[in-house]
Structure 1
Amino acid sequence: MRLLFTFIFVFFSITTIIAQSDTVSSSDVSTADKTQIFIEKAFKYSPLPFAGYATETGMIIGVTKYNAFKFKGNTLSDSLIQPSSILAYVYFTQENQYKYYLITDLMNNDNKINSKFEFMFMDYPSYFFGIGNNNDFDSAYLVDFKNILFAPSVSYNIFENIYIGAKYTYNDYLNIASLDENINDSVLQTNSGLQSGVGIIVSREARDNRIRAKKGSYFNMSYDFYDESMGSEFNYNQFTLDYRYYITPIKQITIASQLYTTLSSGNVPMQSMPVVGGAYRMRGIYEARYRDKNMIMAQFELRFPIYWILYGATYVGLGQVAPRVSDFAFNSFHYGYGAGLRLLIDEKTSSVLRFDLSYGPSGSKIFIGFNEAF
């Protein structure tokens, strides 16, 4: 199984914090400020290397870059401008595999235009656990494939916090095959091919900060339509609903909650079925452990300060998948829970580096990434 990616720069950052901890106090604010500025500049200007090891790939080396910023407002003050972000990374493995990834999320023109762009090009194996809500963890096998993803979207503010937009998705899976000689991959091969579709988006952005909210809510509803008339080799539809709510009942203690569901119909290829498990939805469960045409999930998180620019969080999540909506059942939920640390890397946008240790029925998982899971 894939092991923890070790960010080389993390050790340097933590060492810096520990070295300064004896001198950071209310009577020596300048030292704290200087250290925080140093950390913010390091993350802002320097690409960040990482390395790791996985049994299926051997050694892994790569580099990532994340930046969050605010566009200058025309009529709104800087405090009211929602932050934008760009994340990119690339890594290579000992077995000549690779992954290139880029995602931009920009809020322009006094929060009136929200444009997003996602690009991925990869040749990297992943474990396939089967389709359904009750698969066996030990029956997983490696699947190799190439994937090219291109997905732009744009939404316009039409009234107060309401946005309406459109998106296009080009998602091509090539050369899907099992790496296990004992597995008949004829079913896998039927899932190779191009998925091309358009979608509509309706959202309401009412958070105080879209990167790391302390109060407010977020609502996003989308409907995607994939059809051969757009060059797609698969005809299917997907409806997705994402609702998040944030409250800070006690100073600096935030309770965050999320309800997320995806409902599908038609000929949905397995790699585009909604899943339970991963770094953002249902931490504690292996990535894409459960997949099917329909998915529902809820998660809750308590966020709190620890010391200076270090924050903590505890969380729990419940989720399940099903071939039909009528097959959802109260006794079919899977669970995950855990706790983590957050290192503030940009005070202006509230960006953090996230470390999560999660637990589920199949053991523990460690996740490292930028910003909160939701």
Structure 2
Amino acid sequence: MRFLYSLLTLSVLAAPGAFAQVTTPTDSTTTTAPAPGLKQPRKSAFAPSDKPSFIPVPIAFYQQETGFAAGAAILPVWRFGTDTTVRKSNARLIAWFSQEKQSTIQLTHTIFTPGEKLFLSGELSRYDQKLFYYGVGNDNREDAESDLEFKLIVFDEKVMPRIAPNLFVGLRYRLTSLTDITAPGTARDGGTNFFLRDNFRISPASGRIR
């Protein structure tokens, strides 16, 4: 019996020691070296809460000239670096197509580089659209409504370095290209398209600018 008591006592004394070994916290300063041949992960250019999202958003609308139209838009917003004093940048990409076979693709952006050393803002757009034309002047009739189709490309960019706190100075370039202006069909009153009546540079035969 004495031998049995001795074993029980030894077991009770040994158990706390074993428990202490299991619950002893590891050294938090210990780091694990990367395996040979593996590269360290690249540091992100964005803070975790400021990463841009490129999830498209569906859009749909109706206009008299276009009819029903549908497309998608991407609207990312982000901040370069982790400095919260740097203003956020944003961009907008929109594309749509209408039942009247018109379309628009537009990209705009407002960008502040890290440290706000440079400010960029601009647009790149392409339009293939139609408008209703009612003539020149203030006394226009509703039955003068005529179709006017055109294609337009716009490139606009501002590049401005910061020269003082909250002061940016730079250059701007803008290109506007308006082509394929046509005046198809007749006016609502059955007569000649009113755009052809008002603009002598339009060829009545082709409906295009001479």
Using structure 2 for the length normalisation, give the TM-score.
0.58
The equivalent of 1:71 in structure 2 is 80
Tell me what 2:154 maps to. 149
The 3 A distance-change label for structure 1 pair 94 and 153 is same
Q: How many residues align?
A: 145
Partner of 2:70: 61
Q: Partner of 2:115: helix, strand, or coil?
A: coil
Give identity over the alignment, percent: 22
CA gap 1:95/1:81 in 2 versus in 1, 3 angstroms: same
Q: 1:127 offset after TM fit, Å?
A: 4.0
Q: Quick check: 1:168 aligned with 2:173?
A: yes
**Could you give the per-residue CA deviations for residues 34-72 of structure 1, whole angstroms, max 9, x where no partner exists?**
xxxxxx9xx934211122333332321111111111111
Is the CA contact (8 Å cut-off) linking 1:129 and 1:135 kept in structure 2? no
Q: CA shift at 1:164, angstroms?
A: 0.7
Structure 2 partner of 1:349: none
Instruction: Provide, for residues 177-229 of structure 1, a one-character-per-residue CA deviation record: whole Å limited to 9, x for no partner.
Output: 335443043765869xxxxxxxxxxxxxxxxxxxxxxxxxxxxxxxxxxxxxx
| Structure 2 CA distance for partners of 1:137 and 1:182, relative to 1, 3 Å | closer
Partner Cα separation in structure 1 for residue 93 and residue 66 of structure 2: 21
Task: Tell whether the 8 Å contact from 1:176 to 1:189 is kept in structure 2 after alignment.
Answer: no
Partners in 2 of 1:189 and 1:92 — Cα distance?
32
> Aligned to 1:110, what secondary structure does the other structure show?
helix
User: What 5-or-longer segments of structure 1 have no aligned partner?
Assistant: 1-39, 192-374
1:209-256: per-residue Cα shift (whole Å, max 9, x none)?
xxxxxxxxxxxxxxxxxxxxxxxxxxxxxxxxxxxxxxxxxxxxxxxx
Whole-Å Cα distance in 1 between the matches of residues 145 and 110 of structure 2? 34
CA distance in 2, matches of 1:101, 1:189: 32
* Alignment of 1:158 onto 2:169: no
Mapped pair 1:44 → 2:44 = no
- Alpha-carbon distance between aligned partners in 2 of 1:129 and 1:104, rounded to the nearest angstrom: 35
- Provide the rounded CA distance (Å) in 1 between the counterparts of 2:74 and 2:96: 12
Question: Is this contact kept in 1: 2:135–2:195, CA < 8 A?
Answer: no
Maintained 8 Å contact 1:177/1:188: no
Of 111, 115, 120, the residue aligned with 2:116 is: 111
How far does residue 119 in structure 1 lie from its aligned partner after superposition?
A: 0.7
Q: What's the secondary structure of 1:154's corresponding residue? A: strand
User: Does structure 2 conserve the Cα–Cα contact (< 8 Å) formed by 1:175 and 1:189?
Assistant: no
Paired with 1:135 and 1:105, the residues of 2 have a C-alpha distance of 42
Q: Which structure dedicates a bigger proportion of its chain to strand?
A: 1
Q: How does 1:172-321 map to 2 (within 5 A)?
A: 172-179=177-184, 180=187, 181-185=192-196
Q: 1:45 to 1:88 in 2, by over 3 A?
A: closer
SS of equivalent residue, structure 1 residue 44: coil
The alpha-carbon distance between structure 1 residues 130 and 166, as it changes in their structure 2 partners (threshold 3 A), is: farther
- Provide the secondary structure at the position in 1 that maps to 2:65: coil
In 1, distance between residues paired with 2:163 and 2:141?
Answer: 47
In structure 1, what is the Cα distance between the partners aligned to 2:101 and 2:115? 45
Q: Secondary structure at the match of 1:185?
A: helix
User: Does the CA-based 8 Å contact 2:135-2:194 persist in structure 1?
Assistant: no
**1:89 — aligned with what?**
94
Structure 1 Cα separation of the partners of residues 165 and 110 of structure 2:
20
Give the match's secondary structure for 1:125: strand
Deviation at 1:112, TM superposition (A): 2.1
Residues 176 and 188, structure 1, Cα contact 8 Å, conserved in 2: no
Gap change, CA 1:157 and 1:144, over 3 Å in 2: same
CA spacing shift, 1:110–1:174, aligned 2, 3 Å: same
What's the TM-score, normalizing by structure 1?
A: 0.34
In the TM superposition, residue 157 of structure 1 has moved relative to its aligned partner by 0.9
Larger Rg: 2
- Tell me the distance in 1 between the aligned counterparts of 2:86 and 2:164: 16
Task: Say what the alpha-carbon RMSD is for the aligned residues.
Answer: 3.1
